[in-house]
Structure 1
Amino acid sequence: MSSLSTLGLLAGAALPVQAEEPVHYVALGDSFSAGTGTRAKVDDCYRSPHGYPALLADAHGLQLDYQACSSADTEDVHRDQLDALSPATDYVTMTIGGNDLGYAGVITQCALPGWLSNCEGRINDALELLHSQMPQRYDVLFAEIGVRAPAADVVIGTYPHLFSGRNCNLATFFTAAEMRALNGATDQLADVIADRTQAAGFRYVDARPAFQGHAVCDSPEWVNGLSWPIQESYHPNRDGNIGYADIFWPGTSGSTTTRTTTDTGTASTDQTSASRAQQVRAQADAVLAMDLTGSANLRQARSAGVPTGELVRLVAQLRSGDVATVEKALAGLAALNERHAIRAGR
């Protein structure tokens, strides 16, 4: 197989000329590379046909070995995915590092009401690990990739900002300050990824510019907010994976194989109402699962100055069968959280 310099991939800005043999492409990484968020789970690792690796392979005729796996961290990639690499490997992509830092746990913690959350502490713990351990973890992983696939064009991607500063989901309680802090942690992770990627002699691509204006609650949204199944939450959707494909290989979205199709049919009023009712019910159930009125959580609320009588009343209303009542209760809980954030100076 000819080298990727012959194919033109190393430039990263232009599509390669047609090769006589298919380019051997290995997609490594975590859920952001496995297509989680596209609502098309194929196996235990997810590996969606709408994930950016599949889009790249389809658009450019690559021979894809799809190794990326939801929940993978650097150790998992080293142990479970690198056997796919060889001297014949031409092209490698990867996002990795978020799970080393406890990505899901940090998001879950920060989504709680402020009087129950240790969002700042969880972010700080992740950042301490980022700066103390992640450079070495990246160096070890990247060195092994280089040994196993010495001729490959290896491209490492960063993660996008998840938040635009607005929380439009009534089942989560992110404050503006928490969203800024989470985006700031993403920036620090991107800096480390860029530094260690370039030190390894690999190519680095940054997802943040392309995703600007497409965060959770933006329009159009390239990242899911709280979703069901819950695994789909806070990951790039199908449009986001098209964006990622363009980030890794500019011009990919010009292919008809990567364009999303829109159902132009109009849903009936009954279908729309049912969908809204189901969404509201799911959000209410998510908040009820936080056990806000459990004895220990009520003590925390009381010590934080939250009016527990109002809290108990609003939580009780979440069990109502009336959609409007449940929506009003969710909005009331969001307002309680905002008042607490103001008092706490957050």
Structure 2
Amino acid sequence: MIPSKLLRGSIVAAATTVLAALVSSLGVTPAQAVAPQYVALGDSYSAGVGTRDKQDDCYRSPYGYPALIADTYGLALSYQACSGAVTADVAANQLQALSSGTAHVSMTIGGNDAHFADVITECAQPGWLSDCEGAIADGNAVIANQLPGRYDSLFTAIATAAPNATVAIGGYPWIFNGEDCNLATFFSPSEQSALNAGSDNLDELIAAKAAGHGFAFVDPRSSFDGHAVCDDPEWINGLSNPIEESYHPNRDGNVGYAALFGPALTGSPFDPTSLSRTAAAKPRETRDAKLRREADVVLSFDLDTPANLRAARRHGIAPAEIKRLVRALDSDDPAAVERALTELRRLDRQTS
């Protein structure tokens, strides 16, 4: 009779041999085969929008902070985050990746629930056309009245689906620094301040709800201070080409996010020097091409429609002046285009 201890040893040895053969056939190392599972949930801020390397319909850039964290800490990434996602989308389409074996979960969510893109679009228009104040108020109403319950429901579902995971929920940085250096947008200093205050409202809610569910809260505001749109260096894109990249963290910004999320998830410092990926340069375009692109953005506002001309008149701006500037925006003369953009900026400040 074979001693039981020897029999168990033989079984273990055989199992180890089989596992090694399986791992070898799959072309992975044993360390990779047992890498802790990391699930990245969320919206465009977690999908890496802004890094100029879109991979699929959800974006999911290899330069997004989840990919940087997975590479740095040797985690097995399940990249679920998707551009445009709201809390309901995470619940319906992303939580299936979670299990009792999930070790780490990160997420940014809520900006789209509060209509972030619509608010930015509204506030980017000239003051005599937009209702920036109303758009911000509507977003803040969602934050105050609807998102608390949505967060409670979603966070409970995450805790249930991944009971053994360390979960870190990220907030959103301040986007603006009080300056608007893009000729095609019309953010006044007061509008920028109000937009940043909206981010504060959302972040304070996320922090409270994360704490209430035993999750870590990742606050990017201090780290991103000095790196807003129009800062040097920017960690957040301003108006960009393609437009999808606008007002999202660039590659440097995603490194900044990774430096916050990594320790929150693993308890270990994040070492950016270990990354082989470098910051993406902004697309090269001539000054004339940039002016043409900016003029086309402003032309898309349809400043000279009857309704918009009436709005201009109500704010003391002569419709004939708007028509003249619109014609100049269509000019082939870059100097004329630049003068028209600058004059429209002056009129916007006059009515703000």
- Shared fold, TM over 0.5: yes
Gaps of 5+ in 1: 1-17, 264-270, 342-346
CA distance in 2, matches of 1:205, 1:247: 6
CA distance in 2, matches of 1:186, 1:258: 32
CA contact (8 A) 1:24 1:62 kept: yes
Residue matched to 2:40: 27
CA distance in 2, matches of 1:166, 1:307: 27
Q: Which has the larger radius of gyration?
A: 2
1:79 counterpart (92, 97, 101): 92
CA distance in 1, matches of 2:232, 2:209: 33
CA change 1:331–1:89 in 2 (3 A) is same
CA change 1:53–1:331 in 2 (3 A) is same
1:213 counterpart (189, 206, 226): 226
Please, which moves more after superposition, 307-316 or 287-296?
307-316
Please, which moves more after superposition, 60-69 or 322-331?
322-331
CA change 1:19–1:262 in 2 (3 A) is closer
Counterpart of 1:228, as a letter, is N
CA distance in 2, matches of 1:238, 1:324: 33
CA distance in 2, matches of 1:311, 1:241: 40
| 3-state DSSP of counterpart to 1:155 | strand
CA contact (8 A) 1:293 1:315 kept: yes
**Superposition deviation, residue 99 in structure 1:** 0.4
Identity %: 54
Counterpart of 2:105, as a letter, is V
What's the C-alpha RMSD, in Å, of the aligned pairs?
1.7
CA contact (8 A) 1:114 1:340 kept: yes
CA change 1:167–1:93 in 2 (3 A) is same
Q: Do structure 1's residue 227 and structure 2's residue 245 form an aligned pair? A: no
Gaps of 5+ in 2: 1-30, 264-268
CA distance in 2, matches of 1:160, 1:31: 14
Q: Do structure 1's residue 296 and structure 2's residue 307 form an aligned pair? A: yes
CA distance in 2, matches of 1:84, 1:94: 13
CA contact (8 A) 1:280 1:326 kept: yes
| 3-state DSSP of counterpart to 2:275 | helix
Q: Do structure 1's residue 282 and structure 2's residue 284 form an aligned pair? A: no
Residue matched to 1:256: 274
CA distance in 2, matches of 1:50, 1:87: 28
Q: Could you state the TM-score of these two structures normalised by the residue count of structure 2?
A: 0.87
2:196 counterpart (178, 183, 189): 183
Residue matched to 2:320: 309
Q: Do structure 1's residue 193 and structure 2's residue 211 form an aligned pair? A: no
**Superposition deviation, residue 259 in structure 1:** 5.0
Q: Could you state the TM-score of these two structures normalised by the residue count of structure 1?
A: 0.88
**Superposition deviation, residue 183 in structure 1:** 0.2
**Superposition deviation, residue 253 in structure 1:** 4.2
**Superposition deviation, residue 128 in structure 1:** 1.1
| CA shift digits 1:301-333 (9 cap, x unpaired) | 001111322222111111111212211111111
| 3-state DSSP of counterpart to 2:142 | helix
**Superposition deviation, residue 35 in structure 1:** 0.3
Q: Do structure 1's residue 318 and structure 2's residue 329 form an aligned pair? A: yes
CA distance in 1, matches of 2:65, 2:95: 19
Residue matched to 1:8: none
| CA shift digits 1:34-59 (9 cap, x unpaired) | 00011110000000011000111111
| 3-state DSSP of counterpart to 1:94 | strand
| CA shift digits 1:276-312 (9 cap, x unpaired) | 2221111100000100011110011001111322222
Please, which moves more after superposition, 62-71 or 304-313?
304-313
| CA shift digits 1:229-263 (9 cap, x unpaired) | 11111000111101110111244343332552588
